[in-house]
Structures are given as structure tokens and as C-alpha cells.
Amino acid sequence: MNKHPQIQQKSHTSGTMLRSPRSMKGPAMVFDLDWEMLKLQSEIRELGANRSAKTLVKEPGLAVTMVFLKKGAAIKRHISPGDLAIQTLTGKIRLNLPIDTVELPAGRVLLLERQISHDVVALEDSCFLLTAGLSDHEEHSG
């Protein structure tokens, strides 16, 4: 339910130099994760970057993003207002949490409650899926 009717849920990307515009919501969406991962790796090579990400789905209450990090790349400490599931597809990542450090090799999933600060470091070239439960505020932003 949209508590802010004047703010519309963003349902399409605008596209970039490397990506065509596309829908991020629908009644049924299927993704070829291997293909999406190859495209992110290609973008990293083409741009000379150490990371790339693509939001696959953004629905009310839910976002699914694929993230590719080169070995040594990091996502600085932050807090997610919603619950998270982080599933490593390839490689190995490390999450530094306030009370623990967790290493996630390919095939592992970490469930993280909302409001837990964390950072992510790629111990190898790594790709992971980030599934986030969105708070009402996040649903209506960017």
C-alpha cells in the first residue's frame, strides 16, 4: 500500500551507456543468473571498475540486486533499514558485523536482521544476490 500517493514506485530503469531501459517489476519475472553475472563481469572489464551491481527486481517491500566485486573490493560499512538475505553465487565474501565476522563462500546464504551495520569485502572475485525487504521509506526513494 502506497502511503504517499504523490510518490510513484519506480518500476523501470532509465538505462545507461551499457544497459537498455527495462522493467523492474511484473507479475512473474525470470532471470538467467549466469547471463546476468557475465554481463556484470563484462561491465567491470569495460569500465575498469572493481565492482558493479544491477537491481533485478524492485517491488513494494522487496528488492533483488546482483552484485559483482573484484577480489579486494569492498562496500563500506552501512546499515540496512530492512531485513537482508545475502547469497554468494561465486567466489567468497566476508561481512564484518558488530559482533562477528562471517565468511560466505559460494552456495552459502546469510540472513541479516534490519538495522545491523555491516561491510562487505571480496576475498575472491565474487558475485552475490542481495535480497532486501524494503521499509516504507525505501520503497518510495530512488
Alpha carbon distance 80, 96 (integer Å): 14
Which grid coordinates belong to 26?
511484473
Measuring CA to CA, which residue among 103, 107, 86, 84 is closest to residue 94?
A: 103
Which grid coordinates belong to 11?
518500476
What pLDDT is attached to residue 74?
97
Domains of the chain: residue spans and CATH? 50-139 (2.60.120.10)
pTM: 0.78
Instruction: Give per-residue pLDDT as tens, 73-104.
Output: 999 999 988 899 999 999 999 999 999 999 99
